[in-house]
Structure 1
Amino acid sequence: MSIHNEKLEELDRRANNDVIRNQWTRLVKTVYEGIFAFDDDRDLTREHYTSSMDFASKRSVYESIHNALAEAPDGPYLEIGSGYGTFALLCDSVGVRCFGCEPDSEPLAIAASRKQAAGVDASVFLQGVGESLPYQDGSFGLVLLDNVLEHVQDIDRVLAEAWRVLKPGGALWVVAPNYASFRREAHYGLPWLPLLPRTVARWYVRRFRGNTAFFDSLNYTTVWGIRSRLRRMKGRFVWPTIEKIRNPADCSNPPKRRILSLAGAFGIARILCGIEWLRLTNPLSKRIELLVRKPPDADTKQGPQLLCLPADSPDSLLRLGVGSFIWNHYAPPGLFDRVTFAFLGNESRSKSLEAGRHLQVYRKRFADHTLVKGLCYLFRVPYFALRLVRTILRDRVDVVRARSLGYNAAAGIVAAKLTGKPCAVSIHAPYATDRHYAPKPFFADLEERLLEQFCLRFADRIYCVSTAMVDYAARMGADRSRTSVLHNRVDLDKFRKVDGHRVDEIRSQLGLTSNHKVAITVGRIVPQKDPRTFLDALRRLVDADPSWRLIVIGVGNLEAASRAYVKRHGLEPYVLFLGNVNHDDLPTYFGAADLFLLSTLYEGFGIVLIEAQAAGLPVVATRISGTTDVVNDANADLVLTGDAGSLAKSMARVFTEADRIREQLEVASASVEAFDEKKMMQTEINDYLAWLPSLFRSRSTAEEKDRQ
């Protein structure tokens, strides 16, 4: 499709009048002095004018696109980085509506002046960035990226956004300089610039050009780099000359059509196609020109993708179920279009959790020999990181999220840094305190400390389960500006709605009557939970009142010692060790008890305290920094750690001070509302939106338009 010279001259006369030329010249001399490379004997603006304001140069782009495609793309069109609006105005002059998206306000002002001078109304120019286009999915038949990718902040995100707004069957045209060509750099005109280290190259630019404004944000685009990114979008590359060699009848030039027909008759068409393909994909070519067609049946929705690195093993994760719990626990619903779970371990079980929710296991067997096993663990982080890099590139992951501070988080951070993606980690417990009460072998302890400090120093975002963990992360070297409090969330309705018949069955099975005073504690039986203290408190209570009973839910390395203590002091009729129970049955056991007991020495947060208060149980717990967001003197009885006597007295007061306990329960019922599952999910979503506004801005804009 060609544009007549008369129409082009008329458009140039109107849109490039003397007033607009002077406005454009002042802008170029002010902003671009020392950036663009021109000979001293030429006008500063001449070459830049030809590439950005001359309609003849844009006509060649327009005609190349239409000649390359068998059918012209349906309108409207979109140019990302539209500059002064030359391509949009050219399209408008031939009856095709074209939108322009430009981040800088000065070129937009000139584009608006040219639009008014040309007397066209269909073109629309908006200020915005390519990483977050303010348009809905599947809006354009053609998207143009003309010398834009070398200037953007995130090439992958810009291409993903361009693909998102492209209609099924539409075309994406990408033009960019090829920095692997070993020629002069396109902007500064300096040879060998891409081959130099950044520091040396910056000095090189400053020495010979003076202005490094473009260089500091310059991306070294290459033919193979852009091709690999476009190939992951599952589009079809369009090679016009190759198509004509294969189908000579499509060639509009009669002499060329006859030559191509003869080439096909003599069997050399395949050779010509190979030569042309090598020319088009030549890594040393000066320019990158790629045309990609979106499949007609392509899904237009290209939302953000999350790579999650849970602390649980694959088998543990699958045992939790495949319902909404997994999805909601590891990623807020509605924010990400896809969540991929990745593990490194010996588990071979791999299964899709639900449609769009994927679980993959990278298996690597570790030897049993101590020395060899230690060496394998040493290389575990780089091994996992390299595997994650492949996953990030293959699935076009936008955010990496690790749910603990360990080798999985460290590998995720390394992979995120290598691929230029943001990475967030969660910190749930203070390891420095943990190793004080449960010391580990020297090398294991050293590994844990180094991994924790590495994650806290290099993660882009650190989610802490409590304000106490924010202080701990800061002491370990984390920047407070990168930390955010994100409490564990609780399904309050689950613990408030308890089946009374099921509670009676549990009490009957445990041999409990209405005369018994029943306390319950939930947690691992480990040094952190200090089981000796709550057993000692129960022994003191039983000596004065044999109606006391204690339900212990959980297992751990101190379970055998705790059972021995119970047997030694004759407490076997009074202590009920139930081991692990299903989390769905936990509200029923809370309903069978009269109070909740927690004698822990330290906690990162204390989610079980919220669950107990939501179930309506009075809480007696130790006074520690990690649980201050949950319990205080107004909604619970707090005692010093390790003080079995005070713990026993507080437990006894639950049954003697009914009015005070009633007031505590009212305060607790109101305070736990802050940790409701829906509120915490919204808090997490809001933090993502504030942390990565460009990633989710397009979705927010589309949702606002839908509401309007």
Structure 2
Amino acid sequence: MTTTPPSPAVRAPLPRVTVVTFSGHQQPEVRDSPNLRTWGALADRLGHACCVWSGPRLAARRGPLRVVQRPRRPGPHSLLWAAGSVRIGVRLARAAARRGETVLLNGAEPWGWLSASIVSLIVRRPWLMEIHGDYLHLPAASLGRWRRAVLKRAVVFFAHHAGGRRVVARSMLDALDRRGIPSVLVPPRLLPVWEHRLERDRPPLSDTRAPRLLTVGRLVSSKGYDLLLEALAELVRTHPGLRLRVVGDGPLRAHVAEEAARLGLSGHVEFLGARDVDEIRAELARADLFVISSRDEGLPRTLLEAASAEVPLVATSVGGIPAACADWDGVRLVPPDSAAIASAVRRAIESPPSAEQLAAVRSRVLAEYGFDTNIDALAALFRSVCAR
């Protein structure tokens, strides 16, 4: 007598989820950015993603991804941005509910937390709090004592009320854990384009007479550009051919440019403004050394991009950077201090990491921060918050 083997279990399709995400962080003036690509991939995995962000006006649909951007002015005017975002978010969430989809609200950065939490109360759906900065360890120089105190209280308040919390660095997970607030570590991700090696015109630091430095980030106090410029003023005394290219824009652009002129660095520093992914890759292909001078960080994506591009790194040991770089050979970490930054850059120029060291770091970064790996983890986190 023969028996028929049991049929394999048929896995039920996962329910479709609509994530309505809010971010008060200023988006770049481009229509193709890491955030757009990230949320497009999440929309494909979940069902739909509706993004209500701060930035230049933009309304776009890309398959299951919908993006609405509205300008946000700083200070009390941000309340108007939050109020408008709540109105849009409620409409998007209710439309998804009418389609029979599971709805999750997602808030990133302080004004996004406020918007997501209010929409959650109105539509009675859970919300996930995304914490991208190491806000509980901010130095006063980043924001000032009063704003720092308010922000730390806001982090703890919203974290207690959120349905889930996602952090991007070990230092942030530990800080919340000490306060009895559980969170999930899902680090930033590299875009798939970083899996392709850059074509360089010469190996990094092969000509130490005219080293080419690069930094990428918003021109705000927390990025420590004043520290970097002071370090550069010291370095050009011994390396007069040194050049620094700054990619990024922000409220301090005019001030930072004036500071560079005051220090006599006008011929050594070039401010390029915001650039898209392909342009940043082109800058990294020309760079001899990548410098991060931040006073505070979560885990900067620029750190991962520079490492994947096999560019030597000097970075401040703040936030999630030390834990991420713990096993990266040849990376120089220093305190957020101009003299320390200058010393580390000088040592990197005089004794650069080998090509083998740079390649090994690249392999580690691609394995740990690959796009699909991290997008899958984030999609799983969203579904787990919906299931609670």
Query: Deviations 1:160-196 (Å, cap 9, x if unpaired)?
Result: x9xxxxxxxxxxxxxxxxxxxxxxxxxxxxxxxxxxx
Match of 1:393 in 2: 94
Give the one of 668, 674, 687 matched to 2:361. 668
For the structure 1 residues 389 and 450, does the alpha-carbon distance in structure 2 shift closer, same or farther, using more than 3 Å as the test? farther
The structural deviation recorded for 1:602 is 1.3
Question: 2:160: which partner in 1?
Answer: 457
Corresponding residue SS for 1:519:
strand
**Is residue 2:346 matched to residue 1:652?**
yes
1:609 CA displacement:
1.0
Q: Judging changes above 3 Å, is the alpha-carbon distance between structure 1 residues 410 and 324 closer, same or farther for their aligned structure 2 residues?
A: closer
- With a CA cutoff of 8 Å and minimum separation of 6, indicate the structure with the bigger relative contact order: 2
Secondary structure of the residue that 2:280 maps to in structure 1? helix
Matches within 5 A, 1:466-545: 466-474=169-177, 477=179, 479-480=181-182, 483-491=183-191, 493-494=193-194, 496-500=196-200, 516-545=210-239
Report the Cα distance in structure 2 between the residues aligned to 1:403 and 1:491, rounded to whole angstroms. 22
Quick one: structure 1 residues 516 and 358, their matched pair in 2 at CA, closer, same or farther if it must change by over 3 Å?
same
Residues 567 and 407 of structure 1, relative CA distance in 2, 3 Å threshold: closer
CA distance in 2, matches of 1:385, 1:423: 13
Between the aligned partners of 1:652 and 1:526, the Cα distance in structure 2 is: 25
Structure 2 counterpart of 1:639: 334
Unaligned runs of 5+ in 2: 1-9
Is the Cα–Cα contact under 8 Å of residues 654 and 661 in structure 1 kept in the other structure?
Answer: no
How far does residue 495 in structure 1 lie from its aligned partner after superposition?
A: 6.7
Unaligned runs of 5+ in 1: 1-133, 138-160, 162-301, 505-512, 695-708
| Offset, 1:428 | 0.6
Instruction: Provide the secondary structure at the position in 2 that maps to 1:351.
Output: strand
Change (3 A) 1:496 1:380: closer
Distance in 1, matches of 2:67 and 2:273, equals 29
Q: Residue in 1 aligned with 2:377?
A: 683
CA contact (8 A) 1:413 1:459 kept: yes
Quick one: which of 20, 31, 44 aligns to 1:320? 31
The answer to whether the 8 Å contact 2:219/2:250 transfers is yes
Residues 197-596 of structure 1: matches in 2 within 5 Å? 303-312=16-25, 316=27, 319-321=30-32, 326-329=36-39, 332-342=42-52, 351-360=59-68, 377=79, 385=86, 388-396=89-97, 397-434=101-138, 436-439=140-143, 448=151, 451-474=154-177, 477=179, 479-480=181-182, 483-491=183-191, 493-494=193-194, 496-500=196-200, 516-596=210-290
Work out the CA distance in 2 between the residues paired with 1:312 and 1:533. 24
Distance 1:361 1:568 in 2: 37
**CA 1:437–1:399 in 2, change beyond 3 Å: closer, same or farther?**
farther
Q: Which amino acid aligns with 1:652?
A: R
Task: State how far apart, in whole Å, the 2-side matches of 1:572 and 1:318 are.
Answer: 26
**Equivalent position SS for 1:684:** helix
Q: Residue 236 of structure 2: SS of its match in structure 1?
A: helix
Once residues 567 and 430 of structure 1 are traced to their aligned partners in structure 2, the CA distance between those partners, rounded to angstroms, is: 32
User: Please, what is the CA RMSD of the aligned residues?
Assistant: 3.8
- Does the Cα contact within 8 Å between 1:602 and 1:626 map onto a contact in 2? no
Whole-angstrom CA distance in 1 between matches of 2:28 and 2:333: 34
Conserved? CA contact 2:17–2:104, under 8 Å: no
Secondary structure of 1:310's partner? strand
- Separation in 1 of the partners of 2:21 and 2:218? 26
Cα 1:493–1:390 shift into 2, 3 Å? closer
Deviation at 1:424, TM superposition (A): 0.9
TM-score (structure 2 length as normaliser): 0.79
Q: Secondary structure at the match of 1:468?
A: helix
Per the alignment, in what secondary structure is the counterpart of residue 395 of structure 1?
A: helix
Aligned AA (1:395) = A
> What do residues 412-450 of structure 1 show as CA deviations (whole Å, max 9, x unaligned)?
2233244442211210113355572244696x7776555
In structure 2, distance between residues paired with 1:445 and 1:514? 41
- Normalising by structure 1, we get a TM-score of 0.46
1:599 and 1:622 in contact (8 A); partners too: yes
1:669 is displaced (CA, Å) by 1.7
CA distance in 1, matches of 2:55, 2:358: 46
Q: Distance in 2 between matches of 1:318 and 1:528?
A: 21
Retained in 2: the 8 A contact 1:410–1:454?
Answer: no
Cα drift, residue 643 of structure 1: 4.3
Cα offsets for 1:90-127 (capped at 9, x unmatched): xxxxxxxxxxxxxxxxxxxxxxxxxxxxxxxxxxxxxx
**1:649 and 1:361 mapped to 2: Cα distance?**
42
1:619–1:459 Cα change, 3 Å = same
How far did residue 519 of structure 1 move? 1.4
SS in 2 for 1:426: strand
Cα distance between partner residues in 2 of 1:328 and 1:526: 24
Higher Cα radius of gyration: 1
Structure 2 residue aligned with 1:195: none
The offset of 1:520, in angstroms, is 1.2
For residues 550 and 318 of structure 1, the distance between their equivalents in structure 2, rounded to whole angstroms, comes to: 23
Aligned partner letter, 2:21? C
In 2, the alpha carbon distance for the partners of 1:395 and 1:496 equals: 38
Quote the offset at 1:654 in angstroms: 2.6
Amino acid corresponding to residue 406 of structure 1 in structure 2: P
SS in 1 for 2:24: coil
1:219-248 deviation line (CA, Å, top 9, x unaligned): xxxxxxxxxxxxxxxxxxxxxxxxxxxxxx
Q: Secondary structure at the match of 1:487?
A: coil
Distance 1:491 1:528 in 2: 25
Q: Once the two structures are superposed, what CA deviation does each residue of 1:191-227 show, in whole Å capped at 9, x if it has no partner? A: xxxxxxxxxxxxxxxxxxxxxxxxxxxxxxxxxxxxx
Q: Is the 8 A contact 1:632 1:638 kept in 2?
A: no
Q: Does the CA contact (< 8 Å) of 1:404 and 1:426 recur in 2?
A: yes
